[in-house]
């Protein structure tokens, strides 16, 4: 059997968009599933719009996603000579011809033909010129393009998503393969390159499906094997229009900047329009490779849902190694320390925040946003509702001071000892443990919920815990129990450090 070879062929006329990357993912998964090869071709023949910056962005994004390609990416612009040779070949075979009809005139002729009830395509009168006449006009300097002589038979190809697609020949123009200025068109370049890259399966967006019959005609006319095709339905925004920037869908690198993980993007984008036929949302790369199959591609367009992508990210947060998360957070962490935001911001505390909060975060930066208390004493009670509910007992200031004293007295401040101290004291008070668990959590973090309390206490350290509990006790003495104004518009008083 011929080995599977597929390609992703982006035009470097823009950044790699989140919608576009799905085509790359499908190609990659197909190649890996079949132990085949995944190739890249940079279709940079539009010299006006192609930019190195975009090419770099596309390759960086693919690398970041772990879509490793198997051969040096091929630049289409380096192949123009070869494309022209193949155009010549088509002329020699009588399958292409010089067309001297200017573009606007060709369009007008097509419209007239259609109005007359004839065929729905442009048929150039110049297809009938003898080679001699044609050459004479060209030699005389008359401008021309090379067009393909569309035969009369209908064109059919098998699509792995849509089944057999048949296009009546009378709807296909005698299309241009070499422009007036001597540049090959996309139609010509793609066929020559796919053929010489020995591509066996073309997986691309459904927006290309009208190009395929023309490409099949070119393969046939050149006597080349026709690859197989799979045209993947488009991705739509929530308004059912083709996904675009308007929907907030952006470049892959922008998602990267927002803290999306490559594994999450892979899992979400792969399952957008493809399913393994089971009730499952989250896939690792290995599972995707194992299960990917063209049969699982839906015929209907898929709708992109950024919230689902965010959810997916949260699913993968716990799988990222702590050291990698620390690495990702370090620049922002340093920036906040620089800005004076984190007086207790140290490397070890960052490690603790990562360890305790990563399963509660959707994005890496959530660890900093939600875990400021790892790096500074709380300056306010952030959870107003919890503060109102949990800090209302009038004896709380005294109880908190007592609790702080008991924590301070512990020889070893570990989870077991801390928990024991709290339980013994609440039993003495004839209260549930919750009577102090919640106030202590509010004291040390300002939050109503968070990681396991005793783990958090140990992580923050004895001295910090004792200080923060005493600080809250003083705050309650000053502002009452609960320290929450009745007017919901009025902010909570700031917590001041102990004098």
Closest separation in Å from C-beta 207 to ligand GLU: 7
Name the residues annotated as catalytic.
Answer: 245
Q: How far is CA 454 from CA 217, 275, 315, 370, 417, in A?
A: 71, 42, 25, 18, 9
- Contact positions vs ligand GLU (CB under 6 A): 9-11, 43, 190, 204, 208
DSSP, collapsed to helix, strand or coil, labels residue 396 as helix
Q: What torsion, rounded to 10 degrees, do the Cα atoms 377, 383, 389, 395 define?
A: 10
DSSP, collapsed to helix, strand or coil, labels residue 5 as strand
Question: Are 302 and 273 contacting, i.e. CB atoms less than 8 angstroms apart?
Answer: yes
Question: Are 146 and 95 contacting, i.e. CB atoms less than 8 angstroms apart?
Answer: no
Q: Residue 11 or 462: which CB sits closer to ligand GLU?
A: 11
Q: Residue 86 or 466: which CB sits closer to ligand GLU?
A: 86
Closest separation in Å from C-beta 189 to ligand GLU: 9
Q: Residue 242 or 423: which CB sits closer to ligand GLU?
A: 242
Q: Is 21 left (phi over 0), alpha (psi -120 to 50) or beta?
A: alpha
Q: Residue 178 or 190: which CB sits closer to ligand GLU?
A: 190
Closest separation in Å from C-beta 313 to ligand GLU: 27
Residue 100 β-bridge partners = none
354-383 burial, b for 16+ CB within 10 Å, e for fewer? bbbbbebbbbbebbbebbbbbbbbbeebbb
Q: Residue 43 or 377: which CB sits closer to ligand GLU?
A: 43
What does the alpha-carbon distance between residue 281 and residue 366 come to, in Å, rounded to a whole number?
23
Q: Residue 43 or 419: which CB sits closer to ligand GLU?
A: 43
Handedness of CA 263, 267, 268, 269 (dihedral sign): positive
Closest separation in Å from C-beta 57 to ligand GLU: 14
Closest separation in Å from C-beta 204 to ligand GLU: 4
Closest separation in Å from C-beta 257 to ligand GLU: 23
What does the alpha-carbon distance between residue 462 and residue 418 come to, in Å, rounded to a whole number?
9
φ, ψ at 165 (rounded to 5°):
-110, 120
């Amino acid at each position: 059997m011929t080995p599977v070879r597929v390609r992703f062929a982006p035009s470097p006329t823009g950044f790699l968009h989140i919608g576009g990357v799905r085509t790359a993912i499908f190609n990659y998964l197909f190649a890996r599933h079949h132990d085949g090869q995944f190739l890249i071709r940079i279709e940079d023949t539009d010299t006006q719009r192609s930019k190195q910056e975009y090419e770099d962005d596309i390759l960086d994004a693919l690398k970041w996603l772990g879509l490793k390609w198997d051969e040096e990416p091929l630049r289409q612009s380096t192949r123009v000579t070869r494309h022209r040779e193949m155009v010549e070949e088509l002329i020699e075979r009588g399958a292409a011809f010089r067309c001297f009809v200017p573009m606007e005139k060709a369009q007008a002729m097509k419209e007239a033909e259609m109005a007359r009830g004839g065929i729905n395509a442009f048929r150039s009168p110049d297809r009938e010129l003898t080679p001699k006449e044609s050459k004479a006009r060209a030699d005389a300097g008359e401008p021309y393009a090379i067009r393909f002589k569309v035969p009369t038979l209908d064109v059919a190809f098998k699509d792995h998503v849509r089944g057999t697609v048949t296009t009546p020949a009378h709807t296909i123009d005698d299309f241009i393969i070499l422009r007036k200025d001597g540049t090959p068109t996309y139609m010509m370049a793609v066929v020559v390159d796919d053929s010489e890259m020995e591509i066996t399966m073309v997986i691309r967006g459904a927006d290309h499906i009208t190009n395929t019959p023309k490409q099949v005609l070119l393969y046939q006319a050149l006597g080349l094997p026709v690859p197989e095709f799979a045209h993947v339905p488009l991705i739509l925004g929530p308004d059912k229009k083709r996904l675009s920037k308007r929907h907030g869908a952006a470049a892959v690198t922008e998602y990267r900047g927002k803290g999306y993980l490559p594994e999450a993007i892979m899992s979400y984008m792969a399952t957008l329009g493809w399913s393994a036929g089971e009730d499952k949302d989250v896939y690792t790369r290995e599972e995707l490779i194992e299960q990917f199959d063209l049969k699982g591609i839906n015929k209907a367009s898929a709708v992109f849902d950024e919230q689902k992508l965010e959810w997916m990210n949260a699913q993968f947060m716990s799988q990222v190694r702590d050291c990698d998360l620390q690495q990702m957070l370090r620049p922002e962490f340093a920036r906040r320390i620089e800005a004076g935001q984190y007086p207790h911001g140290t490397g070890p505390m960052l490690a603790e925040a990562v360890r305790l909060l990563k399963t509660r975060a959707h994005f890496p930066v959530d660890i900093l946003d939600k875990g400021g208390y790892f790096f500074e004493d709380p300056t306010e009670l952030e959870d107003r509702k919890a503060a109102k509910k949990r800090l209302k007992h009038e004896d709380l200031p005294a109880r908190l001071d007592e609790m702080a004293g008991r924590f301070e007295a512990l020889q070893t401040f570990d989870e077991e000892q801390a928990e024991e101290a709290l339980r013994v004291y609440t039993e003495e008070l004839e209260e549930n443990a919750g009577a102090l668990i919640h106030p202590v959590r509010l004291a040390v973090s300002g939050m109503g919920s968070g990681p396991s309390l005793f783990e958090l206490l140990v992580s923050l350290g004895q001295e910090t815990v004792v200080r923060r509990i005493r600080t809250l006790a003083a705050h309650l003495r000053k502002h009452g129990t609960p320290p929450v104004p009745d007017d919901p518009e009025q902010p909570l008083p700031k917590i001041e450090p102990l004098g």
